[in-house]
Structure 1
Amino acid sequence: MQNKKILIVDDEIGIIQMLETVLRKEGYTMIRRALTGEEALRALRITDFDLIVLDVMLPDTDGFQLCQQIRAQTNAPILFLTARTSDLDKLTGLSIGGDDYITKPFNPLEVVARINVQFRRMMLSQVNSQKKDVYQMGHLRLDRKAAQLWIHGEEVNCPAKELELLFFLADHPNQVFTAGQLYEQIWGYESVGDEKTVAIHIMRLRKKIEENPKMPTIIVNLRSIGYKFVPPASGELL
């Protein structure tokens, strides 16, 4: 995380200083501040930022308008931080290119957590670019486009979230993920006590794909760490 470059755009210096303090404690050291939209655009012409924290109400421009200008220069995640709390404002911010929306007053630790989520998603999306449409692994076959699962040649009914979770695990064989990371990827929210949701879906998948669900060899649980997907030894990824 230390090499991630973050731009904070806000005219309240106290907010910037508070965010800088908690971000540095998390290991983010490459932080640039901008008090106006003009300063932000000038900084973007000089530096390729990895993430932008953007206030909506700036002294020289509207943050929504600035977001559109920023989007013309970079695809870096934009996290809105604003006192405008209406649903319309939130929908506007997300529809014009924002990736998240946090209202003031806020907990700075929540901001850092959401920034971490954005960077984790970016990292995983880079890996996802290598994902396949069809997996044939021993007795298990997955077809992404058809949204189908076959076990021993027979199609098995699989609800959408279970199938999405299974594809994600198959896309990242032998990689360990915590329950929280899996929840973020499949359900789209930062995990706060949602390990049970993941555990239930893992249990249901094991009943479908494991030869012995009580002694799983495909979706393996690493105690106190997380889960990893081990492709059946009798087959190869296509």
Structure 2
Amino acid sequence: MTRTLLVVDDDQKTRNLLKTYLEKHQYEVRVAHDGASFNAEFERFKDELSLVILDVMLPDTDGFTLCRSVRSQSPVPIIMLTASADDTDRIVGLELGADDYIAKPYNPRELLARIKAIHRRMQLGAPGAPVRFLKFAGFSMDVVERVLTDPQGQPVVLTSMDFNLLRFFAEHAGETLDRARLMEQTRGRDLGPLDRSLDVQVSRLRQRLHDDGKQPVLIKTVRGSGYVFSADVSAHAEP
């Protein structure tokens, strides 16, 4: 998979800092400052791009228009950036074909985590993709046989829901995942106001991973937000 990103942001300082940060993590980064320059760069490099990052507010157009244009030409993943706290922007972006959304101001590490998560999902979901194993902290997940082995190579007993939850965590490593999203993605239903079943499941999963409940290293609680899977996850074709 190529690791070429195209970023459009009208703030030069933000644009340059983000370019420098992502290049330190071995990405090739193309930048644009408005809709016109973005369209020119996209047309030039669209066959090389692995992901596009769109700022919603631009001087000559908006990110929604660019998102619609990109999606009409290419399936390349899109992350949208916005300074608005209004959920409407997020919903519109996703309906137009964006793959993810992050609000400004954001931590570059959070954006990097989302980029990595999208790339992992692309590898796992690609037709004929050889990726079968997700590895982290000595553990290995076989996503085909649905088996987890510990650092000693011994199988870890997990329920089907536990496996689904751990896989979702691993595929979104580094992202702060709120409880409602975790419930929807792993159980297919909304989280009730008094529903603590997800927290119980997370606690059980920590036990299976020998992740200290008082000071967990793998599945960390983000107070007031949800959980984050903090391990470095890699995807492999072989065990």
Normalising by structure 1, report the TM-score: 0.58
CA contact (8 A) 2:54 2:78 kept: yes
Change (3 A) 1:176 1:62: farther
CA contact (8 A) 2:6 2:29 kept: yes
CA contact (8 A) 1:56 1:81 kept: yes
CA contact (8 A) 2:18 2:108 kept: yes
CA distance in structure 2 between the partners assigned to 1:84 and 1:184 by the alignment: 32
Matches within 5 A, 1:156-195: 169=142, 171=144, 183=165, 185-186=167-168, 189-190=172-173
- For 2:43, the equivalent position in structure 1 comes to 45
CA distance in structure 2 between the partners assigned to 1:57 and 1:177 by the alignment: 46
Change (3 A) 1:111 1:186: closer
CA deviations over 1:52-89 (Å, ceiling 9, x no partner): 01000111101101100011111111101111220111
Q: Which amino acid aligns with 1:14?
A: K
Change (3 A) 1:119 1:176: farther
CA distance in structure 2 between the partners assigned to 1:38 and 1:177 by the alignment: 51
CA contact (8 A) 1:53 1:79 kept: yes
- For 2:204, the equivalent position in structure 1 comes to 200
Deviation of the 1:186 alpha carbon: 3.2
Gaps of 5+ in 2: 132-140, 152-162, 178-197, 209-230, 234-239
Change (3 A) 1:110 1:174: same
CA distance in structure 2 between the partners assigned to 1:113 and 1:202 by the alignment: 21
CA deviations over 1:82-125 (Å, ceiling 9, x no partner): 11220111111111111111111111111111111111111111
CA contact (8 A) 1:51 1:77 kept: yes
- For 2:195, the equivalent position in structure 1 comes to none
Q: Which amino acid aligns with 2:31?
A: R
SS of 2:126 mapped into structure 1: helix
SS of 2:73 mapped into structure 1: coil
Aligned length: 167
Q: CA RMSD in A?
A: 3.9
Could you tell me the percent identity over the aligned residues? 34
Normalising by structure 2, report the TM-score: 0.58
Q: Which amino acid aligns with 1:171?
A: V
- For 2:187, the equivalent position in structure 1 comes to none
Change (3 A) 1:171 1:198: farther
CA contact (8 A) 1:22 1:112 kept: no
Q: Which amino acid aligns with 1:200?
A: R
- For 2:94, the equivalent position in structure 1 comes to 94
CA deviations over 1:180-225 (Å, ceiling 9, x no partner): x97474367546699x956836999xxxxxxxxxxxxxxxxxxx99
Matches within 5 A, 1:62-81: 62-81=62-81
CA contact (8 A) 1:6 1:50 kept: yes
The higher radius of gyration belongs to 1
